[in-house]
Structure 1
Amino acid sequence: MSLYDIEVNTIKGETGTLAPYKGQVLLIVNTATKCGFAGQFEGLQKLHDKYREQGFSVLGFPNGQFANQEPGSNSEVAEACKINFGVTFPLFEKVDVIGSQIHPLFKHLTNEARGVLGSKAIKWNFTKFLVDRDGRVLKRFGSADTPERIESHIQKLLDQPAKA
């Protein structure tokens, strides 16, 4: 199964897949508005705005599994992201990123890009997965990796055409 075939629901509850993002460079992030790393929303939005016209998108997937740092409903999350952080990049419904109910997207991402010491499990909020234009998960970044630190990796991928 391709990344683009995985079913996802938008933050508004609309069901679809990631197929509309085929051919784009993606940064897929598990987010939480009450997390100490929530300041990264601003940097993620800047990256999204700066490179959107070149075929780049940040995709946010809220998650409340780590210290319940995303306690709100999907509509509350959407509102907090917009009002508190100015987020306009695509947000999806809250999902599990670890455990027996892990969302198929995050199961795919963690199988394709391992963490520190080869671990699969996501350790905290704001883990980021960089996907190339062909849907390959190329790199995983931890919570402490700021959007600014990831920018050069995004630029390199944007300079490469899709192979498929």
Structure 2
Amino acid sequence: MTDSIYQFEVNDIQGNTVPLSNFKGKTLLIVNTASKCGFTPQYKGLEALYEKHKDNGLVVLGFPCNQFGKQEPGSNEEIAEFCDLTFKVSFPMFSKVDVNGVDADPLYNYLKEEATGLLGSKAIKWNFTKFLVNKEGKVMKRFAPKDSPESIEKDIQAIL
């Protein structure tokens, strides 16, 4: 039984293995992202949250996903370039993952178990679903894609 996200390893956008235990003691906002989505402008708000609160221990982790309307068709290299050129993203970005289905990344299976969506649904419904994780690696809350980064800032500040 996994009791925190620190049990998982993921690949960064360059393909390097990153143990999530590297983020012990940090407050995390884990987001499945896409470059061609109506919610894509949330990158700006996510970057602003990261810049504003990183010195207090917030780290935003972006996980590109192409499962919703094929809105993340590019390679990891193309995604990294888009994020840098379009939104000046400086928070960590990771390799493209599936968040639902048989090929779902184990981290996302864990996140969905720990914080269900509307009416107890475990499935991720769309891009820019956000999971707030405390400094001990426990999933505290799940936010819907329509929840803007600005609208969840109070929840983040409460556990920084």
User: What band does the TM-score fall into relative to the shorter chain?
Assistant: over 0.9
Query: 1:22 & 1:149 partners in 2: Cα distance?
Result: 25
Q: CA deviation at 1:129?
A: 0.1
1:67-146 matches, cutoff 5 A: 67-146=69-148
Query: 1:52 & 1:37 partners in 2: Cα distance?
Result: 23
1:52-67 matches, cutoff 5 A: 52-67=54-69
Among the aligned pairs, what percent are the same residue? 56
TM-score, normalised to structure 1, is 0.95
Q: CA deviation at 1:57?
A: 0.5
Other structure's SS at 2:83 match: helix
Query: 1:84 & 1:48 partners in 2: Cα distance?
Result: 16
RMSD: 0.6
- Specify the alignment match of 1:148 in structure 2: 150
Which amino acid letter does the alignment assign opposite residue 130 of structure 2?
K
Q: CA deviation at 1:85?
A: 1.2
Deviations 1:62-92 (A, max 9, x none): 0001011000000000000110111110000
- Specify the alignment match of 2:39 in structure 1: 37
Select which of 46, 49, 52 maps to 1:50: 52
Query: 2:153 & 2:146 partners in 1: Cα distance?
Result: 14
- Specify the alignment match of 1:11 in structure 2: 13
Which amino acid letter does the alignment assign opposite residue 144 of structure 1?
K
Which amino acid letter does the alignment assign opposite residue 131 of structure 2?
F
Other structure's SS at 1:93 match: coil
Query: 1:86 & 1:79 partners in 2: Cα distance?
Result: 9
| Number of residue pairs matched by the alignment | 158
- Specify the alignment match of 1:25 in structure 2: 27
Other structure's SS at 1:107 match: helix
Deviations 1:98-129 (A, max 9, x none): 01101000000000000000000000000000
Query: 2:13 & 2:21 partners in 1: Cα distance?
Result: 17
Structure 1 stretches of 4+ with a deviation exceeding 4 A read none
Which amino acid letter does the alignment assign opposite residue 60 of structure 1?
G
Q: CA deviation at 1:134?
A: 0.7
